[in-house]
Structure 1
Amino acid sequence: MPKVRSAPIPLSPSIRLQLMWLASPALPVGGFSYSEGLEAAVDTGRVQTEAQAAHWLLYQLQLSLARSDMPVVARAVPAWLRGDLARISELNEWVTQTRETSELRLQTEQMGRSLVEWLRNNGQQDERTAACASLKPAPTWPVAFALAVAQCIPKGMPPPPQLVEEALLAYAFGWAENMVQTAIKAVPLGQSAGQRILQALTQAIPSLIESACQVTDSQRQAFTPMLAILSAQHESQYSRLFRS
């Protein structure tokens, strides 16, 4: 007879709320101040309409986030839960080494430091926060985010089996919301156009999470040449609103 799988245990309201908090643009890590090359794409005429902005962000989600940062988060969450600091250091070093421009590297390091500082100030005593802060040259955003996810689980409580997938939903949606707000300001676009772009991104996220969870270390990659070129050009762009 076929085996019947039991239904997964749902996340508690407390854990779900904490993941929603991590996805919020109000989280004080400065994500709203970065465009990740989009502002340079607007400046060079590559992104001038709603359709172009939607295509740009969908491709960035598929070719960059889902092949690099999301697989890192998927591996870093269980590493933090089991206290594997060697694995954490390895993942953090990979993120640092694969940022293709100084702006993108400064972004991940600044956001990582800011999240660690937020974790320090939230009243929770956890030695893993100090371990994250000590990462060299700095804790990166995906690794620090994974720590914040791991800290959603009370000590002694087994992590829910769907924790990684839920964490990636929060990570990807937080990125999508920040980037849509960037497009609204930089292109510029109206709020309704921004909501349509966000809808397209959220429809793509679930399948990308499934594939990101399957990415091995040897398959993980950061290779977006045009994005890197535009990011480098943005460093000397005459007029800009964003830090990347």
Structure 2
Amino acid sequence: MSASTPWLQLMWLASPALPVGGFSYSEGLEAAVEAGLVTNEAQASAWLSDHLHLALGRADAAVLAQAVPAWQAGDLRRITVLNDWVRHTRESAELRLQTEQMGRSLLEWLKNRSSDERLAALAALSPAPTYPVAFALAAAQVGASAEQALLSFAFGWAENMVQAAIKAVPLGQSAGQRILERLTHDIPAMVAAALSLDDASRQAFTPRLAILSARHETQYSRLFRS
């Protein structure tokens, strides 16, 4: 394979067209819109930037940063610990079901692409593989570094969330591109921070987001999955 192949594979993994269902979730954003907390472009941009740094960067991205080398080393005990941490720290049923559903869907997609023996270990994670752990294996399969995997993971999240903002606020396409530009500028700093986190400093504590996600589970009118 050429030197560009891992990047092409990572672009594929970041694509909203990947059949894992990431586009169908708003991760609390739709509830924030309903509550009047996000009503325009500036508020949506600030909300997603905070989510990137305070939620994704300190939890899922930090897990991904550690799961890539664990898959590369064949450390299945470490993989199990990381997968359990993701599940146990989800602050709402909605967020837990999202990571499990997306993890299962990515597993099925990976099964159709290769016969990697590590897929059996991913499938054996109980009750389900979580999305960052499954994504880490996909990245490890193409020889990506943890940093490369994080850049792909974060950009894929940003694209899905910007599309959620466009639909839920609602916003125009140009506003969405301006928000995506801001997130693109924010991602390298988030990645660097996530790579520096160890088990003691990794965290999942976003109470406002957790409350909004829980409210979204019973929100009467909604566009996004719960």
The bucket for the TM-score relative to the shorter chain is over 0.9
State yes or no: 1:66 paired with 2:42. no
Following superposition, the deviation at residue 212 of structure 1 comes to 0.7
Instruction: Give the match for residue 40 of structure 2.
Output: 49
Q: Can you list the C-alpha shifts for 1:109-136, whole angstroms capped at 9, x where unaligned? A: 00000000000011x1111111101101
Please point out which of 197, 202, 209 is paired with 1:220: 202
Q: Compute the TM-score of the two structures, normalised by the length of structure 1.
A: 0.91
Instruction: Give the match for residue 175 of structure 2.
Output: 193
Q: Can you list the C-alpha shifts for 1:177-235, whole angstroms capped at 9, x where unaligned? A: 00000000000000000000000001011011111101010000000000000000011
Structure 2 Cα separation of the partners of residues 240 and 130 of structure 1: 36
The one-letter amino acid paired with 2:26 is S
Residue identity over aligned pairs, in percent, reads 68
* Residue pairs, 1:105-120, within 5 angstroms: 105-120=96-111
Instruction: Give the match for residue 230 of structure 1.
Output: 212
Please point out which of 138, 141, 158 is paired with 1:148: 138
Please point out which of 67, 77, 83 is paired with 1:76: 67
Structure 2 Cα separation of the partners of residues 211 and 236 of structure 1: 34
Structure 2 Cα separation of the partners of residues 28 and 220 of structure 1: 29
Structure 2 Cα separation of the partners of residues 13 and 55 of structure 1: 34
Instruction: Give the match for residue 112 of structure 2.
Output: 121
Q: Secondary structure at the match of 2:57?
A: helix
Q: Secondary structure at the match of 1:15?
A: helix
Following superposition, the deviation at residue 13 of structure 1 comes to 1.2
State yes or no: 1:178 paired with 2:178. no
Following superposition, the deviation at residue 71 of structure 1 comes to 0.8
Q: Can you list the C-alpha shifts for 1:19-72, whole angstroms capped at 9, x where unaligned? A: 110000000000000000000000111100000000100000010011001110
Structure 2 Cα separation of the partners of residues 201 and 106 of structure 1: 25
State yes or no: 1:94 paired with 2:85. yes
Stretches of structure 2 lacking an aligned partner (at least 5 in a row): none
Following superposition, the deviation at residue 101 of structure 1 comes to 0.4
Stretches of 4+ aligned residues off by more than 4 angstroms: none
Q: Compute the TM-score of the two structures, normalised by the length of structure 2.
A: 0.98
Stretches of structure 1 lacking an aligned partner (at least 5 in a row): 1-10, 154-159
Structure 2 Cα separation of the partners of residues 30 and 211 of structure 1: 27
Structure 1 Cα separation of the partners of residues 44 and 12 of structure 2: 26
Equivalenced residues, count: 225
The one-letter amino acid paired with 1:22 is L
Structure 1 Cα separation of the partners of residues 171 and 18 of structure 2: 24
Q: Which has the higher helix share?
A: 2
Q: Secondary structure at the match of 2:205?
A: coil
Instruction: Give the match for residue 40 of structure 1.
Output: 31
Structure 1 Cα separation of the partners of residues 4 and 76 of structure 2: 29
Instruction: Give the match for residue 3 of structure 1.
Output: none
Which structure is larger by alpha-carbon Rg, 1 or 2?
A: 1
